[in-house]
Structure formats: structure tokens, C-alpha cells
Amino acid sequence: MSTTARTVGVGLISVGWMGQLHSRAYRDVPIVYPELGITPKLVIAADTAPSRVEFAQNVLGFAEGTTDYREVLAHPDVEVVSICAPNFLHAEIGIAAAKAGKHFWIEKPVGRSYSETAAIEDAATEAGVITSIGYNYRHAPAVEHARTLIADGRLGRITNVRASFFSGYANEPNGALSWRFDRELAGSGVLADLFSHASDLCQYVVGPIAEINALTSTVYTERPKLEMGSGTHFAVIENGDMGPVENEDYAAALVRFGSEGPGSGAVGTIEASRVIVGPECGYQIEVYGTEGSVKWDFERMNELKVCLGRANAEQGYTTVNASPKHGDYSRFQPGPGNALGFDDLKTIEAKKFLLAVSGGPQENSNVHDAVSAAAIVTAAEVSAASGQWQKLDEIAGTTASRTA
């Protein structure tokens, strides 16, 4: 699709890991997708840490900087906003962005609870603004290939799905107590942080989840404190002042898929850990059907293991390299085997967002997907507390849906 050439004014709220990555992604869009005619202009960035505001202006190329995010939302040249703040600010900023009439690309988890996420959805719907969510793993060309094989029925009837997100970012007992471990600042722990990615990917490639039965555990109950706006959640602090871990390190769930989509009637498991030793960003999805299966692991992001047809089963899996035939791969590399990286997924995400706000097709994930993910996280929390199966359509209105 080609659109009329235009400049889109960008505001950024929070200049941490994701804020920096969003900024680079915007800058890449006109280079990777020149035919769209969309030129993002980095107008103003906000962070409460002055050193990060300076970084945004001096290194990332924002024309202006501020320590007050409201100046970003009030800026007349800002058309779209990236909300990359810690989770506790998502509802406040997301709702304010919608009221200011700004389209926004917001990081997951969108809100600390189902009700916060639903409130952002209501505000965005009322204001008629476009939303986009940081579900970057959707854009991996190998994942897109898996999704196409499944949608085309190449795996037969989908029987079961196995997803796990095993990151070792907090596997050191002295790993920093960043905002992610504080219930007030983050909401739930690994459920919101990593499990929500895995459940989104299951829904993206297979279809909606209808029911869940979960358990959670916390492996390290205290950690050394980390000042907001310094370091990252990968930091290790020796002899620090300790504080309590208030949310879960590990979560596992049995899931049943609903009647819509290719996964109709399928069952599966989703697991996530932030304290695992061994996998570093081991993020896997395996989908099994009556005629075949596919396996993907983010640590080998550009490969898809494929077995199609029972007759081929004795030969095992074929490894398909991501190639120009899959997703947006060809925009980055002309031939197969030239690996794409994590940052490229963010560039694809930025393109989908900017295309949608420019009147193009809405290929981006949106706040409705975020509400669905929040329902799954909340249902997992309810189920882990009760030991019972939890239906997702019963989540709205539960006590847990309202707590942060």
C-alpha cells in the first residue's frame, strides 16, 4: 500500500529499554518501508530521570525533552505517543493520551489489572484513537509462517499447544529489585511480564483461549533495591539494601481454547519463569495437529521446525530458515539465512502502527488484544488462588480484576 507522503510527530514517554527501542524503530521505518511515504519526526521525550531526557535529545534525536509526561501529551506537534513507562503508569498515561486525542503505541502489559486495561480500552474507543501494543514476537517471520501453515490447515486439526517463556533475567538471588517485583508498580510478576507475551502468541497463531487452570510460585522472596530510572532489571547488586518481592517468579497453566479459530477444541500448556537457569530468553511455542506440527524458539528466532504429514514423521523435523517468503523478512534481507534480530521486530511493529494511523490496513495488535491478555493474566491469578478452572468470560467484575 502506498499512502500520501506525510510527517508524523512522535512523542515518547519513558526512555528506558523500550523507549530507546521504539525511538530507533521509528527512525528505521522510512528506510525499511520507503514506499509508505511516512516520515516520523521525533518531537519530544519525557522521563523523570534527567539523564535519560538528555540521552533522548543528544543521542536519540528528540528535538525537545521534559521530566513531565503531560508536556508530551499537550504538545501540538505530537500526533502519536509511545508509552514505555513502568506498568503502574500505563492506565494514567494511556487514558490521558486518549483524552488528548493522541494515537498511542503502548508496551505490554497494558495496565496492572483487567479493570485498568479495560479502562484504557474504553478511553481509546471513546476518543477514536488508534492503539498498538508491544507484542513484538508476533512479527517474527518464522512465527508468521507457522501461523499461515496453521490457518491453511496444513497441520490438520489442532490438538494441543505448548508455550513457555523462560527468561533468566532474575535468576541471581542478588538480581535487582526493580519496579517489576513491586505489586503496586508492576501488578503481577512473571504473569504480566512474560506469560502475557506467551498467551498473546498462542492466541495470535491458534485462536482465543477460553479457560485456564494455573499455579504460581515465588522462588526469591527478597532482593536488593534498585533506584527507578537507573540500571535495568538484569542488574545484579552486591551487599544492597534488601526489599520484598511482592509477585510471582514462575507461573504454569493448563488452557482450553474456545470454539473460534483454527485451535477450536484444542488444549495446551503455558509456562513462564523469570528465574530460570539455562534458558536466557527461551521462548517457545509448539503447535501439534492431527497431520503435523511446528516448533519455534526465540533463541533461534529465524528458524521454524516443521513436520507435515504422518508419512514424514519418521524423518523428523525439517528446519525452515526464515526467508523472503515469510512475513516482512524481505524488507530487511534479500535472501534466506541472514538472521533478523529483536530490534527488527520493533521496526515491523512501528510500521504497522504508523500505517494504521495513516489510514492504512490495521495489521497492528490493539487494545482489545491487550484486554484479552489481561483477562488471561487475571484468570490465572484467580485460578492459582482458588485451585479451580477459571472461564475467561467470567473475569470482568471479579474482585481480582480490580486489584493492581
Ligand X SMILES: NC(=O)c1ccc[n+]([C@@H]2O[C@H](COP(=O)([O-])OP(=O)(O)OC[C@H]3O[C@@H](n4cnc5c(N)ncnc54)[C@H](O)[C@@H]3O)[C@@H](O)[C@H]2O)c1
Nearer to ligand X, 228 or 385 (CB): 228
Q: How far apart are CA 247 and CA 184, in angstroms?
A: 10
10 lines the binding site for ligand X (CB under 6 A): no
**How many chain residues touch ligand X (CB under 6 A)?**
26
Q: Which of 22, 102, 103, 108 binds ligand X (CB under 6 A)?
A: 108
Q: Is the dihedral of CA 23, 374, 137, 7 positive or negative?
A: negative
Nearer to ligand X, 46 or 158 (CB): 46
Exposure b/e, 237-255, CB count within 10 A at least 16 = b: beeeeeeebbbbbbbbbeb
Evaluate whether 72 touches 1 at the Cβ level (below 8 Å): no
* Shortest Å distance, C-beta 196 to ligand X: 9
59 lines the binding site for ligand X (CB under 6 A): no
Q: Which of 17, 70, 309, 310 binds ligand X (CB under 6 A)?
A: 17
107 lines the binding site for ligand X (CB under 6 A): yes
Evaluate whether 83 touches 13 at the Cβ level (below 8 Å): yes
Nearer to ligand X, 198 or 205 (CB): 198
Within residues 132-151, the interface with ligand X by CB under 6 A covers: 134, 136
Evaluate whether 69 touches 90 at the Cβ level (below 8 Å): no
Residue 333: HSE in the Cβ half-sphere, 13 Å Cα cutoff = 18
Q: Which of 47, 64, 297, 381 binds ligand X (CB under 6 A)?
A: 47
* Shortest Å distance, C-beta 306 to ligand X: 25
Within residues 258-297, the interface with ligand X by CB under 6 A covers: none
What's the 3-state SS for 151-206?
Answer: HCCCCCCEEEEEEEEEECCCCCCCECECHHHCHHHHCCCHHHHHHHHHHHHHHHHC
Nearer to ligand X, 196 or 390 (CB): 196
Within residues 182-211, the interface with ligand X by CB under 6 A covers: 193
Q: Which of 25, 56, 73, 85 binds ligand X (CB under 6 A)?
A: 85
Q: How far apart are CA 223 and CA 237, in angstroms?
A: 9
* Shortest Å distance, C-beta 133 to ligand X: 8
CB-count exposure of residue 24 (10 Å: 0-12, 13-18, 19+):
middle
Nearer to ligand X, 291 or 363 (CB): 363
Backbone angles phi, psi at 198, to 5 degrees: -65, -40
* Nearest alpha carbon to residue 357 among 128, 144, 60: 128
**Three cell numbers, residue 263:** 485451535
349 lines the binding site for ligand X (CB under 6 A): no
Cα angle 116, 270, 159 (rounded to 5 degrees) comes to: 120
45 lines the binding site for ligand X (CB under 6 A): no
18 lines the binding site for ligand X (CB under 6 A): yes
CB-count exposure of residue 138 (10 Å: 0-12, 13-18, 19+):
buried
Region of 1-9, 46-54, 279-287, 311-319 interacting with ligand X (CB under 6 A): 46-54
Evaluate whether 192 touches 370 at the Cβ level (below 8 Å): no
Nearest residue to ligand X on Cβ basis: 16
Nearer to ligand X, 266 or 352 (CB): 352
* Shortest Å distance, C-beta 26 to ligand X: 15
Region of 1-9, 207-215, 227-235, 302-310 interacting with ligand X (CB under 6 A): 227-235
Residues forming contacts to ligand X in the complex (CB under 6 A) are 13-19, 46-49, 52, 69, 84-87, 89, 107-108, 134, 136, 193, 228-229, 232
